[in-house]
Structure 1
Amino acid sequence: MNGRTILYTGAAGGLGLETSVLLIERGATVIAVDNDPAKVVALESAAAGAGPGKLIVSTTDLSDLAAYRAELDRLIAETGGIDVIINNAAIYPAKPFEQFSIEEHQHVQRINVDAGIVAVQAALPGMRARGFGRIVNVSSITISGGWENLSPYVASKAALIGLTRAWAREFGGWGITVNAIAPGAFPTDAEKIHPDPEGYDRMVLDAQSIKRRGNAGDIAHAIAFFTADEAGFITGQTLHVNGGWVMA
């Protein structure tokens, strides 16, 4: 990854921090977009001395798409261009479908999907000019069904699969690949929405073929694979990283 510049949203989160550090260790400049102060501090601490790459932090609010585009334009001018995009940031409000207002649906869509569209629009001209690009969209096991009260989140994660395939077809001629990761159930802050943590943990292990909980390294290495030069003939695919819970 030497010389590559990577835009990574949600880079300081439960699944993001370890991926960011791995990519920095492999020589990439990681632009970490995250506005959780405590998590940003933890990422900065973990990345310190990880080299040979480096960390750039942006605390832009992804729900403000105009401000995000302006920030991306500034970062592209500063770094010389973005080679890799990892659209990972997401919010996941939970309640019955009929209790969500249309504005709440749209807010989830804006952060989980539209911010990714803005990033690709900003970086695409540079990727085309260089004849290289990697886009990784982070979807979710929830698109397979089986989870209630998450309809805006599930809709947003399914939209990322559709965009993965559409972009893969449209951008392939310029040497740009587009793939998706669909993580299973990982012990991150997202699981705090479940009222019975121990019961949920048992349910996950019963459902998985592999009888351990996933960890951030499982996702980090999957993302690193898709971003590498060696994955240049793989595009439009969704990799399910879920311990054999859902097989597709």
Structure 2
Amino acid sequence: MKSALDGRKIIVFGATGRVGITVCRILAEQGADIAVHCNRGREKAENAAECVRALGCRAVVIQGNAAAEADMHRCVGEACGFLGRVDGVVNLIHRDKEFEPCRAADMSWKNWEPHVEAMQAHFHVCKAVIPYMRKQQYGRIVYLSGGLSCRFFEGCAPFSAVKAGMNAFSKTVALEEGKYNITVNTVAPGKIAASGQNRGGDWDGIEKKQMEANPLGRFASPEDIAYAIMVFLIPENGYLTGQTIFAAGGEIMPMP
């Protein structure tokens, strides 16, 4: 599938997170020019952009707070000004990554706020990019969700609720924007392996259950997630919309 994205112009939001640099690299390996978004991690974003350029593709860093609608409109405008158009958007923004499991009876609304802010960011990204895609009658939008949107563990109610909401949001936008040749899809990873990470506590029990249910016997790599995302960006896959891929090694197999 070399050069499956040859000449495509793609914005990667949240590109400095756990899988962002890998996503930028793999999309560039397939021929895409990339706008690399960050909020505070400018140095990491510049490193990702250099990786893209080293592969012979164009790259620009755009910086802004996804929770601020004006920032997202500015970022998309800067990306389009540099790239000339926007064929695809990958949204990896994941503000709730540091949460600790907490049962609903023991939590306060403060436990919900970072998760709800993440949904706000997803809406702002969508709102900013759709006018460009409508104008050109073409677009691919891919959201990163999570396996906890479909299978549930104690202590993860806000995360699960927001990820399930994101899945529903993307399907609804797919219904609304299909007439403009815009597809909207979601990749929902299971556990993504992180070298040296040991969070302990409730997470140990959760991850043990995930591994026991995984037919492939391993957690996902960032590359696994990047290639799943790429499926929805390939121009020839224009008949896929409103779909969720559970990139979880078979741990999650929902019936249609």
The TM-score bracket by the shorter chain reads 0.7 to 0.9
2:95: which partner in 1? 91
2:194: which partner in 1? 188
Distance 1:78 1:47, change over 3 A: closer
Aligned pairs for 1:104-183 (under 5 A) are 104-110=111-117, 112-183=118-189
Query: Given the two structures, how large is their TM-score scaled by the length of structure 1?
Result: 0.86
2:52: which partner in 1? 47
Q: Deviations over 1:127-158 (max 9, x none)?
A: 12222110111110011233232322222211
Structure 2 residue runs of 5 or longer lacking an equivalent are none
Q: Given residue 162 of structure 1, which amino acid in structure 2 is its aligned partner?
A: A
CA-based RMSD of the aligned residues comes to: 2.5
2:28: which partner in 1? 24
2:41: which partner in 1? 36
Distance 1:199 1:159, change over 3 A: closer
Contact preservation (8 Å) 1:81, 1:123: no
Q: Given residue 79 of structure 2, which amino acid in structure 1 is its aligned partner?
A: L
SS in 1 for 2:112: helix
Q: Given residue 132 of structure 1, which amino acid in structure 2 is its aligned partner?
A: Y
2:7: which partner in 1? 3
Q: Tell me the CA shift for residue 94 of structure 1.
A: 2.2
Q: Tell me the CA shift for residue 230 of structure 1.
A: 1.5
Distance across 2 between alignment mates of 1:241 and 1:88: 14
1:15: which partner in 2? 19
Q: Tell me the CA shift for residue 75 of structure 1.
A: 2.9
Q: Given residue 105 of structure 1, which amino acid in structure 2 is its aligned partner?
A: W
Structure 1 residue runs of 5 or longer lacking an equivalent are none
Q: Deviations over 1:81-123 (max 9, x none)?
A: 322111211122224235554355244222x222222222222
Distance 1:233 1:42, change over 3 A: same
Query: Given the two structures, how large is their TM-score scaled by the length of structure 2?
Result: 0.84
**Percent identity (aligned):** 26
SS in 1 for 2:23: helix
Contact preservation (8 Å) 1:185, 1:204: yes
Q: Deviations over 1:174-229 (max 9, x none)?
A: 1111111110111138x654438877665433120111222111111111111011
Contact preservation (8 Å) 1:5, 1:83: yes
1:243: which partner in 2? 249
